[in-house]
Structure 1
Amino acid sequence: MITRKKILTAAAAVGMAFTCLLSGAGSAAAGTNGQKLYFHQVYSQPHATYSVLVQGYNEQGRWVTGCFNTEGAEWKTLDGWWWVGQVAYSTYPFYNCQGTRIYSNTAQVPKDQGSQDWVVIQG
C-alpha cells in the first residue's frame, strides 16, 4: 500500500514539474526570441481604436494573424503573442477588427532587445 502511494505521489510530482516546464517555456524563451506588442492609441479622431489586427511571424517562425481588442484604451498590451521581424498592423473602430480600417502601418520587432520584451506600436 505504501509503495503504491509513493509511486502515485512521484508520478504526480513529475507530471506537475513537466506541466510547469511547458507552461513557462513560451514566455521565457520568447524574451530572447521575440517581443510582445504594446499598443499606443494616438489617432483618436474621428474614431477611437477598439481593436488592432496584427500579422507577422511569431517566435516559432510561423506566419500568424491576431485580432486584439483594446477597449478604446490609450495604452494596451496585446497579450499572449510574441512577434519577430516585420509586423503589419491595422486599427479598427469596433471590437473584433470590425468596421472600416482607421490606420495601418508596419513595425520592426527585434528578436532580442536585452531587458525589454515589448515593442510599442502606435495607431
Structure 2
Amino acid sequence: MNIRKRLGGLVLAGVFALTATVVAVGPAHAGSNGQQLLLINNSGTNDSFLLKGTDYNGNPVQTCVNTDGRWETWFSNWWFKGSLTYFTYTAYNCYGTPSNWGAVVNIPTSSSNDWQAITDNSSSYGGNQQIDFFDNLHKANSIRISGYNQYDQNVSGCWATPGWETPVNGWWWQTPVTLTTYTSSNCSGSSNGVYTPERVGNPNNAWFGFADS
C-alpha cells in the first residue's frame, strides 16, 4: 500500500509562490538537513495548504500547495526545518479565509527518513475509518489503538511500527479513539505517548492520518 500511495501522490496539481521571500530549494541528503512534507487532508474538504517556514539553508519560505482534495499529497523537493506554520483552505491557490488558522509544528533538521507528515482537522465524523500512523518523532516501535469499531464494539489491538508509516489495514474506527505508543515491539512495558485523535470516522475518506507530532 505504501508504494501505491507514494506513486499516486508525487505529482502535484500546482504549487504557487505567494511572496517574494520564496527561494529556490535544492535537494538535501536523506533527511540530513530538513524534511519534505506529506500533507494529509483528513477533512476531505481542503484543496490547498499554505506553508510558512524555513528552508534547509535557513531562508524564510512561503508557498501554497494545491491538493485537489486528495487525502494525501507528497510535496517533494522542498526541504523544511524548524518551526513551520500551515493554514488550510477549501479553495484552490490558498484563496479566501483559511479553514484552519495557523497550526504550528516543528520539522527536525535531521531524521532517519526524508518525510514529515502534517495533518488538517477532520470537519466531519459519523462514519468509520482505518488509521494510518506516522511516527514523526521516531520513538514508537509499536502502537496500541483502543476504541469503538464499525459495529460499536469496544476493541483494542497492537501493531508493530517498524518504519515511519504504519497503515492499520482492515480495522475500522470511530470517535472516540485512544492511540498509545511504546518503545517495545509488542506494546509491552511503559508507554512513551498517549494520544486521542479527534473526529475519527469521516464518512468521505477511508483513511484517517495521524502523526505523533
**TM-score (norm: length of structure 2):** 0.42
Cα shift at 1:28 = 4.0
* 1:9-48 map, 5 Å: 26-29=26-29, 31-44=31-44, 48=45
CA deviations over 1:70-109 (Å, ceiling 9, x no partner):
0100011123311000100000011110122011311110
Distance in 2 separating the partners of 1:29 and 1:113: 10
Which structure's relative contact order is higher, taking Cα pairs within 8 Å and 6+ residues apart?
1
What is aligned with 1:51? 48
How much identity, in percent, do the aligned residues show?
A: 34
Structure 1 consecutive aligned stretches of length 4 or more whose deviation exceeds 6 Å:
none
What is aligned with 1:100? 97
Distance in 1 separating the partners of 2:28 and 2:81: 15
Secondary structure of the residue aligned to 2:32 is coil
Find the structure with the greater CA-based Rg.
1
Distance in 2 separating the partners of 1:80 and 1:98: 24
Distance in 2 separating the partners of 1:51 and 1:101: 10
What is aligned with 2:85? 88
Distance in 2 separating the partners of 1:78 and 1:99: 22
What is aligned with 2:109? 111
Of Structure 1 and Structure 2, which has the larger fraction of its residues in strand? 2
Say if 1:30 and 1:59, in contact at 8 Å, map to a contact too: no
What is aligned with 1:22? none
Distance in 1 separating the partners of 2:30 and 2:88: 25
Unmatched runs of 5 consecutive residues or more in structure 2:
1-25, 121-213
2:67 to 65, 70, 75: 70
Q: Which amino acid aligns with 1:112?
A: S
Cα shift at 1:27 = 2.1
Secondary structure of the residue aligned to 1:67 is strand
Of Structure 1 and Structure 2, which has the larger fraction of its residues in helix? 1
Cα shift at 1:30 = 6.7
Say if 1:30 and 1:82, in contact at 8 Å, map to a contact too: no
Distance in 1 separating the partners of 2:82 and 2:54: 7
Distance in 2 separating the partners of 1:62 and 1:80: 15
